Amino acid sequence: MIEKLNKFLMKDWAFLLICVAICAGVVGGTHTYLVNGTGYLTNFAGGQMLKLGIESGDLGAAVGYGGGFLIARVLEGPLVGLIDIGGSMMHGVGLGICALIISMGWGFLIYNFPLAILTGGFVGLVIGLIVMGVRKLMPSGVTAGGTAIMMGVGHQLSNFLAPLFLLSALQYSIPIGIAGALGGIAFYIKGKNCVGGIIIGMFIAAFFF
Amino acid sequence: MFELIIKSIVIGGLAGAGVGAGAARMYYAPELQAAGAFRTLGEMNACQGDPVSHFSFGFSFYINCMANGLATGCFDQDFLHRVIPNISAGVLLTKNKDVKETIQNPAKMAIVGAVVGIIGLVILNSSVSFVPAYVSATLTEIFTPAINNFLIVMQVLFLIAALDNGKITGCWGIALGSIAFLVTGNATPGLILGIITGQTIENNGVKSKISIVFIVLMIVIWVLIAYFRGFFPKLIEAFTVAAAMLG
């Protein structure tokens, strides 16, 4: 049984099935985040961008940010034989494609759970087909450029999160600002990413103030 | 609550199976198209087939996911990137130390990955529902200005990156970024497409097939977006007003 499944999963085209499964799960995660307030499978900046976009009705930023990662990773994935599921699926599909679907007025595809899973699966199938297509068709020597630049900006952007979060915490109120700063210091000393500490500090303080 | 658990089981099972199989196939890339990440592959190799290392690595990130989830409802990318592959690997390796028959076997990794995904996600999602609503409301209020600033920083950084990359990419970045801002109110989509188009032209020459495909694609994409967003009437109106003032 496992041998058979393994033989199947070791075929190159089984990649499509992997894309379908992951994307279905990721879109399901976006559904629970928007409906139940939990379960988003990518980072908080993306989640907040999506929620703010839905509130204001302008999802351009979310589509651009998520979609940019999707394009970059889908172009890069087939060239190196390993697609980055963080940029392509969690960010690209969970943020970019979901924002695109909602901005087209098809929000029911995300807000209805069975439909969300089906939508995710379909998106995954399309991504898988594109990756396999590029893999088969891309003539050697031709390179679609720009993915390295995009990834560089992505890393720079994540550096901005800690200072921006801390500034808004300090602006919001004195106790929450202090808690955020202390959390950031604690995480920084332990050699972990400051953002986590700032968020946890504010989270604890938000119970009391 | 019951509904959320059912949803978590479906999501965790699907994503877990996909990530597990994708991670196992990483060991056969590039002959086989895999899904995962290079850093995941590096981290899994660093554990050297030791179940305890895999467990402790995966579990430390699981704690991170839970803290993030409690505070924001977002688990970050680590749940799929690190927790599922490493905990699944740890589970398989406790029974059989041979990596060829365990973490490099997509079927076994898919099955164990699905189970790990289901259990992990059900615990994460049900723990979040104990957080009182006023706490999440406060946090959203704190974060809103930060994210609005983040959106500005994003456009600035992408534009700087385009300009730093040379004249061709820079010009495409400014042009498409400005169009994107006028049409959608945000320059990011245009800047990203500008960088990709510009760099492709730089790599392959403007007369190569792929460059021409990209250029045509960009024109078609932006004309369509502008049309569906009702930009052309606005454009004509803006210039008629100016012309009327001059005349």
What is the reported pLDDT for A124? 96
> Which parts of B96-208 fold into alpha helices (H)?
106-128, 133-164, 167-184, 188-204
Rounded CA-CA distance A134/A129 in Å is: 8
What is the reported pLDDT for B247? 67
pLDDT in tens, B109-168: 999 999 999 999 999 999 887 888 888 888 888 888 888 888 899 899 999 999 999 899
Rounded CA-CA distance A39/B109 in Å is: 23
* Chain B interface disruption, residue of A82, A122, A138, most B CBs within 10 A: A82
The two tokens of residue B125 are 């999602």
SS (H, E, C) chain A: CHHHHHHHHCCHHHHHHHHHHHHHHHHHHHHHHHHHCCCECCCHHHHHHHHHHHHHCCCHHHHHHHHHHHHHHHHHHHHHCEEEHHHHHHHHHHHHHHHHHHHCCCCHHHHCHHHHHHHHHHHHHHHHHHHHHHHHHCCCCCCCCCHHHHHHHHHHHHHHHHHHHHHHHHHHCHHHHHHHHHHHHHHHHCCCCHHHHHHHHHHHHHHHC
Return the amino acid letter for B91. Answer: V
What is the reported pLDDT for B91? 94
Q: Which residues of A touch B212 (CB under 8 A)?
A: none
pLDDT at B175 over 90: yes
pLDDT in tens, B151-173: 899 899 999 999 999 899 999 99
pLDDT at A27 over 80: yes
Q: Are the Cβ atoms of B71 and A64 closer than 8 angstroms?
A: no
Task: Point out the residue among B41, B64, B158 whose CB comes nearest to the CB of A153.
Answer: B158
The pLDDT > 70 percentage for chain B reads 100
Q: What is the average pLDDT score of chain B? A: 89
**Is B38 near chain A, with CB under 8 Å?**
yes
**Is B15 near chain A, with CB under 8 Å?**
yes
Report the candidate in B129, B18, B22 with the shortest Cα–Cα distance to residue B66.
Answer: B129
Q: How many CA atoms lie within 13 A of B72 on its CB side?
A: 30
| Mean pLDDT, range B76-103, rounded to an integer | 91
Number of A to B CB contacts under 8 A, please give it.
326
Q: Which residues of A touch B72 (CB under 8 A)?
A: 44, 47-48, 199, 203
- For the entire predicted model, the pTM comes to 0.85
Q: Are B199 and B210 in contact (CB under 8 A)?
A: no
**Is B142 near chain A, with CB under 8 Å?**
yes
What is the reported pLDDT for A145? 66
Rounded CA-CA distance B151/B155 in Å is: 7
What single-letter DSSP state applies at residue B26? Answer: G
Torsion sign (Cα): B78, B83, B89, B94: positive
What is the reported pLDDT for B214? 84
Q: Which residues of B touch A207 (CB under 8 A)?
A: 132, 135
Question: Which pLDDT band holds residue A143 (cuts at 50, 70, 90)?
Answer: low
Per the model's pLDDT, the better-predicted residue between A67 and A185 turns out to be A185
Whether the ω angle into residue B30 lies within 30 degrees of 0, i.e. cis, is yes
The two tokens of residue B159 are 């534009």
pLDDT in tens, A104-139: 889 999 999 999 999 999 999 999 999 998 888 776
What is the reported pLDDT for A67? 83
pLDDT in tens, A146-205: 777 877 887 788 788 889 999 999 999 999 999 999 999 998 998 877 888 888 899 889
Q: Are the Cβ atoms of A117 and B10 closer than 8 angstroms?
A: yes
Q: Are the Cβ atoms of B186 and A14 closer than 8 angstroms?
A: no
Q: What is the average pLDDT score of chain A? A: 88
